[in-house]
Every structure is written in structure tokens, then in C-alpha cells.
Amino acid sequence: MRKRILVNGAGGFIGGHLVKRLKTEGNWVRAVDLKRHEFAEPPADEFIVGDLRDQQVARGAVEGIDEVYQLAADMGGAGYLFTGAHDAAVLHNSATINLNTLEFGHQAGVKKFFYSSSACIYPEHNQTDPDNPKCSEDSAYPAAPDSEYGWEKLFSERLYLAYQRNYGTQVRIARFHNIFGPEGTWTGGKEKAPAAVCRKVSEARDGGSIEVWGDGRQTRSFLYIDECIEGIRRLMESDFMGPVNIGSEEMVSINRLAEMVMEIAGKKLSIHHIEGPLGVRGRNSDNRLIQSRLGWAPMYSLRQGLEKTYRWIATQTELTSTKTA
Ligand code: NAD
């Protein structure tokens, strides 16, 4: 059935890809973001450039809408979220977006909300061992996220769940684990590790070196964007509300990630470790719950996703250097 859908944050990475998928499925889509998409204009029926912290914008956005995908957030990689310099803005901006979207959506009769939470909600003390982090959904409490970004996500999870409990609003909540792929932020300070590594490798001359924050032995898993979109759609169509991890269980160290990208690029580079904001020591998705409730697991290997992402970022760096030459 053709639905009227709102995607908040459609000028961003995941939101942009989600609009494409929802349009392919035949829906009518309204997109809202502070800015237009930098790399690929999403094929929305309507694109509102507006600030969802503004009550008037948030109220207008949900008018006549059946379902909301709420992906707008004050967001970035470790360089943005873990220095502490943006804590007040991150908490205030993202919480306001969620408070407005949910309240006005509820008033306007929106039937279902998807909320994009994060692996950053998991307690820091369960992620100190790089080889054995614990990120099962039921380990979220007692809560101890290592960033204000994580605390805001946890607050907003609770907000969506409370609306479901008190007002019968249908909600679906996913905790994303490091989503990467083409058409995402790759430079400027808000990029995340896979994009940053692809950029550094593509800009380096063969035989040179790249910088990696910390000793590079910190571990993470990374999920390719197409898989994330599939997980979101399956969750939204199911009767399972979550919160549930959407991630990959293929955990690697950041050093290994860098080596993989070098192999893809066909370059031999040395890794120069420097100080930088790091986040937790180890993190991996735990997919047991999503596997059992939705029968879902990622299909692509990290390597396959990185090949596509590297190709796209290498093209972006070439385009930029041609423009500035
Ligand atoms: P992104 O930064 O590319 O997209 C977020 C978008 O929200 C941006 O385009 C931004 O302009 C928009 N936005 C911010 N403030 C706004 C406001 N006041 N009004 C309107 N729009 C506003 O990030 P993304 O990677 O696409 O992430 C999407 C969602 O998924 C976010 O909520 C993020 O916290 C969550 N998430 C992402 C990851 C990941 O690895 N990418 C991991 C965990 C959670």
C-alpha cells in the first residue's frame, strides 16, 4: 500500500539512502533536513529545508503523514562526539528534535515511528576488552554510556517507548553499529572511521603513511549501508518494536581496517599512530536478537562494503583535488 512517509534527516547519509528505498517501494515521501544532501539529491516528493528544533517546522513536517523515520541528529564521528566540545549542542539539539517530532507527530495522528538509536548507549564498562565487548540489548541497563551522544539516544529511546506505553503510538527502535558506505560524510571533522581511513589512503602516495588515532588496536564492527536499510525496513514491517541492534558481527581492529583499505587501494603504507579521541576500547554488534526475531543477518562482508566505499571516496578526493588545482 502506498503510504505517506516522513524522513527526518534525509539530507544526511542514512536518511538519503532510505528515501531512495522508500520511493522504490512506491511510497509518497516527504524529506526534512537542515540542509540539502551534499552528494545525491534523494528522490523525495517534497524536500523541506528546515530546522526540526523549531516547533513550527516540526509541526508542519508531520502533517498528513502515516509513518515517520526519525534520523535527524546532531551527529559525527569520534572527532566530533568524544572531545566534549559539542556536548551541550548534541544533547540539546537531538533531544529537541525528538521531543518535537514525537509530540507533534502524536498530535497529528502519525501511526508509526522509527527511531535511530545507537550502539553508543551501551555501558562503557562492558567495552573495555577489545576482544570481548558485550553489546547485547539487555546489557543497556544499569546505564553508563561513555558520551553525551549515547545518553541522549538512551533518553530518546525511553521517550519513544513511553509514548507507546501511554498513548499507544507504534514505535520501532534500532541501535545502529557504525554504518558506512558511499554518499556519507568523508571529510570535514564529522566523518567516521571507515570514511576517514578511505580518504587518508586515497590521498596518500604509495609508500607513504597515514595517521590513525590511538594504537589502532581498538575494535569495532561496521555495517554496509544497504544492509542497514534492509534491517530498518524489516523492523518497521514487523510487530517487534525493539530496541534491537542493527550491525555486523565482523569485528576488526582499526589497524586491520586500515590494512584492508590499503589492500583494496593496492598501496603499501605505514601507519603512524597519533593521539586522538577514541571512544570505547572494543565494540561489536550482538545479532542474536535480530536474528531470532526478524531472521536477519548481514550478507556482505566488511571487505565487500569497503571496496564500494573506497571507490566512491577515491572519486570524491579526485574531484576535490581537481577543483582546487
Ligand atoms: P548524518 O549526520 O549524515 O545525518 C543526520 C542528518 O540530520 C544531517 O543531514 C543533519 O543535517 C540533520 N539534522 C541535524 N540537526 C537537524 C535539525 N535540527 N533539523 C533538521 N535536520 C537536522 O548521520 P547518519 O549517519 O545518516 O545518521 C542518521 C541517524 O542514525 C542519526 O540519528 C544517528 O545518530 C544514527 N546513527 C548513525 C550511525 C552511523 O554509523 N552512521 C550509528 C548509530 C546511530
Pocket of ligand 1 contains residue 243 by CB under 6 Å: no
Q: Name the amino acid, one letter, at 287.
A: N
- CA 290–ligand 1 middle distance (angstroms): 22
Q: What pTM was estimated for this model as a whole?
A: 0.96
Tell me, what's the pLDDT at 325? 65
Tell me, what's the pLDDT at 100? 98
Q: Are residues 147 and 194 in the same domain?
A: no
Residue 287 forms part of a structural domain? no
Tell me, what's the pLDDT at 78? 81
Q: What does the pLDDT look like over 95-112, one tens digit per residue? A: 999 999 999 999 999 999
Q: Are residues 167 and 270 in the same domain?
A: no
Q: Are residues 135 and 154 in the same domain?
A: yes
Q: Are residues 97 and 60 in the same domain?
A: yes
* Alpha-carbon gap, residue 307 to 294, rounded angstroms: 28
Q: Which CATH number belongs to the domain containing residue 204 in this structure?
A: 3.90.25.10
Q: Are residues 204 and 228 in the same domain?
A: no
Pocket of ligand 1 contains residue 13 by CB under 6 Å: yes
Distances from the Cα of 78 to the Cαs of 90, 92, 189, 223, 273, in angstroms? 13, 19, 9, 17, 16
CB atoms within 10 A of CB 20: 17
- Angle at which helices 193-203 and 302-324 pack, to 10 degrees? 50
Pocket of ligand 1 contains residue 31 by CB under 6 Å: no
Q: Are residues 64 and 203 in the same domain?
A: no
pLDDT over 80 at 40, yes or no: yes
Q: Are residues 170 and 264 in the same domain?
A: no
- CA 146–ligand 1 middle distance (angstroms): 19
Q: Which CATH number belongs to the domain containing residue 162 in this structure?
A: 3.40.50.720
- From the CA of 11, give the closest atom in ligand 1: 9
Q: How confident is the model at residue 1 (pLDDT cuts 50, 70, 90)?
A: low
Q: Are residues 110 and 236 in the same domain?
A: yes
For a substitution probing ligand 1, which of 8, 14, 187 has the most ligand atoms within 8 Å of its CB? 14
Residue 291 forms part of a structural domain? no
Q: What does the pLDDT look like over 47-82, one tens digit per residue? A: 999 999 999 999 999 999 999 999 999 998 888 898
Q: Are residues 167 and 189 in the same domain?
A: no
Residue 211 forms part of a structural domain? yes
Q: In the chain, how many domains are there? A: 2
- What is the CA angle 278-281-287, rounded to 5? 115
For a substitution probing ligand 1, which of 19, 36, 71 has the most ligand atoms within 8 Å of its CB? 71
Above pLDDT 70, what percent of the chain?
A: 99
Q: Are residues 139 and 204 in the same domain?
A: no
- CA 252–ligand 1 middle distance (angstroms): 24
Tell me, what's the pLDDT at 57? 98
Residue 292 forms part of a structural domain? no
Three-state SS for 212? strand
Residue 91 forms part of a structural domain? yes
Nearest CA to ligand 1 atom 11: 34
Q: What does the pLDDT look like over 234-283, one tens digit per residue? A: 999 999 999 999 999 999 999 999 999 999 999 999 999 999 888 899 99
Tell me, what's the pLDDT at 323? 75
- CA 97–ligand 1 middle distance (angstroms): 11
Residue 296 forms part of a structural domain? no
Residue 28 forms part of a structural domain? yes
Q: Are residues 270 and 232 in the same domain?
A: no
Domain, as residue range, for 264: 185-221+250-281+301-324
Q: Are residues 131 and 211 in the same domain?
A: no
Q: What is the mean pLDDT of residues 166-176?
A: 97
Above pLDDT 90, what percent of the chain?
A: 92
Catalytic residue among 69, 149, 160, 163: 149
pLDDT over 90 at 299, yes or no: yes
Which of 159, 136, 156, 181 shows the shortest CA–CA distance to 304? Answer: 181
Tell me, what's the pLDDT at 189? 86
Residue 288 forms part of a structural domain? no
Q: What is the mean pLDDT of residues 38-52?
A: 97
Cell of 173: 527502535
Query: Is residue 149 among the annotated active site residues?
Result: yes
